[in-house]
Amino acid sequence: MWIQRLDASHALDYRALMLEAYDLHPLAFTSSVRERAVMPLSWWESRLTGKLDRVFGAFEEGKLAGIVGLAFEPREKARHKATLFGLYVTGKAQQRGLGYQLVQAALAEARAHQGLKLIQLTVTAGNEAAFKLYQRCGFVQFGLEPLAVRVGEDYFDKIHMWRELTAESLA
């Protein structure tokens, strides 16, 4: 298993894995499979090659088995923040620490960006596995957004979490 930053050559596999994630876990993602499935391949490529996003993939036996993204804030007053997004590990690769390793890869990327002070994320309330993973990675809850997403006729809250990139965590 290895983790690397994805580029445009991974766009088809990235698209396929994200569509699988949206389809199998609609509560976990704000985007839906229906809205993302119609996006052209160029949109997926730009997600992997843009200046403000970094997407990492975990590969097992040469196949993409997990992904995570880090989005950097473009606005001058908020450039000290980044957002962790789109963490997903295939069913076959779960329960082996791959999610933890992906988050660590994103944190390492964050540490390489001068001036970055914190990473934030949201996780759907009730997704205990993801919530506990983020806690193990040093994230703490700072808020709850009620009715954050609607899936069908049901509404779900999002937990807001953050992690400071202190001098100790940069070592």
CATH number of the domain enclosing 117: 3.40.630.30
For 115-130, how does the pLDDT look when each residue is reduced to its tens digit (9 = 90+)?
Answer: 999 999 999 999 999 9
| CA–CA distance, 102 with 145 (Å, rounded to integer) | 25
87-106 tens-digit pLDDT = 999 988 888 899 999 999 99
Q: Tell me, what's the pLDDT at 168? A: 52
Report residues of the chain scoring pLDDT below 50. Answer: 169-171
Range of the domain at 25: 2-170
Which pLDDT score, from 0 to 100, does residue 51 have?
87
**pTM, 2 dp:** 0.92
**How many domains does the chain divide into?**
1
Is the Cβ–Cβ distance between 69 and 44 less than 8 Å? no
